Amino acid sequence: MSSTRRLAPAAPRSRRRLLLGLLAVFLLLLAAGVAGLYWVDYDLRHPKADSGRPGAWMTVDRDEVSGFAHVTVPVSAEDVRWGYQNGFQDDFAVLAFRIPQGELEQYKSSLPASEWTDRQYVQQVDLDGFQHIGAPSPSAASPLTCGGFYTPGKAKNIGTRICLTSRSDGTSQVWVSAFHTP
- The model's pLDDT over 6-29, given as tens digits with 9 standing for 90+, comes to 655 555 678 888 888 888 888 888
Residue, of 34 and 175, whose pLDDT is higher: 175
pLDDT at 95: 93
Q: What is the pLDDT of residues 82-130, one digit of tens each?
A: 888 887 778 889 999 999 999 988 998 888 887 888 876 676 666 778 8
- CA pair distance 28, 112, nearest whole angstrom: 61
Instruction: State the pTM of this model.
Output: 0.69
Closest CA to 83 of 118, 42, 40, 127: 127
For residues 92 and 179, the answer to whether their CB atoms sit within 8 Å is: yes
pLDDT at 148: 85
Name the burial class of residue 151, with classes exposed (0-12), middle (13-18) and buried (19+) by CB atoms within 10 angstroms of its CB. middle
Q: Under DSSP, is residue 155 helix (H, G, I), strand (E, B) or coil?
A: coil
pLDDT at 97: 94
Dihedral angle, C-alpha 156, 160, 161, 165, nearest 10 °:
170
pLDDT at 174: 92
Q: Which residues contact 136 (CB under 8 A, 6 or more apart)?
A: 96, 130, 173
Q: Which of 23-32, 35-44, 57-66 is the least confident region?
A: 35-44
Task: Tell me the average pLDDT across 33-58.
Answer: 65
Q: What is the pLDDT of residues 158-169, one digit of tens each?
A: 888 888 988 888
pLDDT at 149: 86
- CA pair distance 83, 77, nearest whole angstrom: 16
Name the burial class of residue 178, with classes exposed (0-12), middle (13-18) and buried (19+) by CB atoms within 10 angstroms of its CB. buried
Report the mean per-residue pLDDT for the chain.
80
